């Protein structure tokens, strides 16, 4: 598979994603993704994105101001 951004090679890996939540930030570490080996652009599969939406919803409910979580630990 080729990266649509730079045409580099895409491989399975992980990425860290910061998510702004109202007045706070949630950082999710170790998110499974397809990552370009050249430009490091990350592409999140649909099934992972669905799980991330649940993580973000939970953080919103808790009114998180700053939190760092491991993807593996919360799914």
pTM of the model: 0.88
What pLDDT, in 10s, does the model give residues 33-60? 999 999 999 999 999 999 999 999 999 9
Beta strands in 1-75 (DSSP E): 10-21, 24-36, 42-43, 66-70
Rg of the chain taking only CA atoms, in angstroms = 13
Say if residues 50 and 20 touch (Cβ distance below 8 Å): no
The domain locations on the chain are 15-32+45-74
CA dist 11 and 74 (Å) reads 24
Say if residues 30 and 14 touch (Cβ distance below 8 Å): yes
């Amino acid at each position: 598979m080729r990266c649509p951004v730079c045409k580099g090679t895409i491989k399975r890996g992980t990425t860290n994603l910061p998510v702004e939540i109202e007045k706070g930030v949630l950082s999710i570490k170790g998110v499974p993704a397809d990552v370009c080996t050249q430009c490091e652009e990350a592409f999140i599969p649909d099934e992972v994105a669905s799980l991330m939406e649940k993580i973000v919803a939970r953080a919103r409910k808790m009114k998180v101001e700053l939190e760092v979580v491991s993807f593996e630990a919360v799914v």
